[in-house]
Amino acid sequence: MAKIGFISLGCPKNQVDSEVMIGLLEKENHIITPDADEADVIIVNTCSFINDAKKESITAVLDAAQLKKTGKCRRLIIAGCLSERYASEMYAEFPEADAIIGTNQIPEIVRAVGGEDVPPPDSYGRSDAKLFLYDHKMPRRLIGPTHSAYMKIAEGCSHTCAFCVIPKIRGRFRSRTIPSLAKEARRLADGGVKEITLVAQDTTGYGTDLGMKDGLADLLEVLDKVKGIEWIRFLYSYPDAVSDRLIRVINESEKICRYIDMPLQHASAAVLKSMRRGGSRASLARMMERIRRNIPGVTLRTTFIAGFPGETESDFHELRDFCREMEFDRMGVFTYSDEEDTHAFGLRPKVSARTAKARQRILMEQQAKIAARKNRELIGKEFRIIIDGPSAESDLLLQGRLESQAPEIDGVCLINDSEIESVKSGDLRTVRITKAMGHDLLGTIVNG
């Protein structure tokens, strides 16, 4: 038995991996401690999607390595995407590491903690690698709030987007079965979870590898019947895969959030073609209009890349104008990260980092005005809210989210009134919005 300090970095999909590893370790009677100084073993679950993520992961590993030198820690294990992608380099750069665990070696974490030899991942870039896919039978311990959980419905990716290295890190797209997901949802509900957020590299591609035509719609219809689950949402949808049936299922359900997260990446047909995405400003606008027309009150969230190789001023202006016309409810913009082992790495001409940053700033400043106006329009209106708990701002405030606010990535709604003492995490209430504060809102509870 060991005390284990666990550092989980990256996206919600990586968080699920961390929760599975923690579940496996607790099953063997190991203890997870939030105090790294007290840990016998430190595990860093890393991310390597873009340069900033790699830097954050490397910093975390260096900090853990220092604890091994000066503190109680006797073993350091590096897991996740960075390990899968750069296994040989990691051993050379971090001799303090006792084990390197890749994304397809999650069950090996128990052996690694126990001091057994675990061979480093050797599957990077191999389409025939043995690929891991967790299911409902595997133990899992949530590391976030107990009333809200992510469910990974598929692993890997079979798209060929020019900028993305995920298919090489995670392998080909592979879906879990509906019965497995339904059993996990029921288990989560039995544990007090009220909100589930479905994640995958492409949630709208769910079931295609299993021969399903409209797999996500099928899955949502099953999850909609799970007692105890009050809110269901899905992230990371793909532009050409939001079917009429999926729209209908969302619109007809009281549990499925009217929230579509769809990374569009760009609006210029030339850039989209270079990205290996396809589509055009006109086709994307038609799709947005179709979704808004058939799901009244839907929240649309997207992300774009600024500074992709070959992006001209004209391409950028087209993107800027598209964003202004579409008035997305939520929008993020990343500057292009030049990743080796991607098709885009060899594309020319490169856009300077300074230009990419300037374009990102212009888009985000434009979006900030749109988002602020949309938030002001909510004042005086009433909405359902899920309570997350005390606010980080003050003990006198509660924090929750509207249906239009996904966990961790969107703003929150703060609650300041006499009702807060009777409210607990996971409660669903109704609030009246009283103030808009940038990305966040302030509201008061209108039902007991």
Structure tokens at 377: 């329009």
Residues 6+ apart with CB under 8 A from 126: none
CA distance 113 to 201: 29
Q: What is the spatial distance between Cα 252 and Cα 239, in angstroms, rounded to a whole number?
A: 21
What pLDDT is attached to residue 284? 97
Q: Could you read off the pLDDT of 401-421 as tens digits, one per residue?
A: 999 999 999 999 999 876 667
* φ and ψ at residue 373, rounded to 5 degrees: -65, -45
- With tokens 């903690």, the residue in question is 113
CA dihedral 176, 177, 179, 180 (to 10 degrees): -20
pTM (two decimals) = 0.96
Say whether pLDDT at 448 is over 60.
Answer: no
Q: Which two tokens stand for residue 443?
A: 């509201």
| Highest-pLDDT range among 115-119, 306-310, 396-400 | 306-310
Residue written as token pair 């957020």: 197
335-369: pLDDT as tens digits:
999 999 999 999 999 999 999 999 999 999 999 99
- Is the distance from CB of 75 to CB of 115 less than 8 angstroms? yes
CA 302 to CA 363: how far, in whole Å? 12
Q: Which of 103, 215, 105 is nearest to 165 (CA)?
A: 103
Q: Is the peptide bond before 390 cis (omega within 30 degrees of 0)?
A: no
- Token pair, residue 421, equals 């003492």
The pLDDT confidence band at residue 12, using thresholds 50, 70 and 90, is very high
Looking at every residue in the chain, the average pLDDT score rounds to 94
Tens digit of pLDDT for each residue in 14-29? 999 999 999 999 999 9
Give the CA-trace dihedral at 438, 440, 446, 448, to 10 degrees. -160
Find, among 288, 159, 147, the residue nearest to 229 by Cα: 147
Q: Which domains does the chain have, with CATH numbers?
A: 3-113 (3.40.50.12160), 148-376 (3.80.30.20), 382-445 (2.40.50.140)
In which band, very low, low, confident or very high, does the pLDDT at 258 lie, cut at 50, 70 and 90? Answer: very high
CA distance 270 to 363: 19
Rounded percentage of the chain residues whose pLDDT exceeds 70 = 97
CA distance 406 to 301: 10
Confidence of residue 43 (pLDDT cuts 50, 70, 90): very high
Residue 58 CB partners (closer than 8 Å, separation 6+): 82
Q: What is the pLDDT of residue 128?
A: 64
Distance CA 313, CA 359 (A): 9
Q: Sheet harboring 148-152: ordered strands across?
A: 148-152, 195-199, 231-234
Q: Is the pLDDT of residue 396 over 80?
A: no
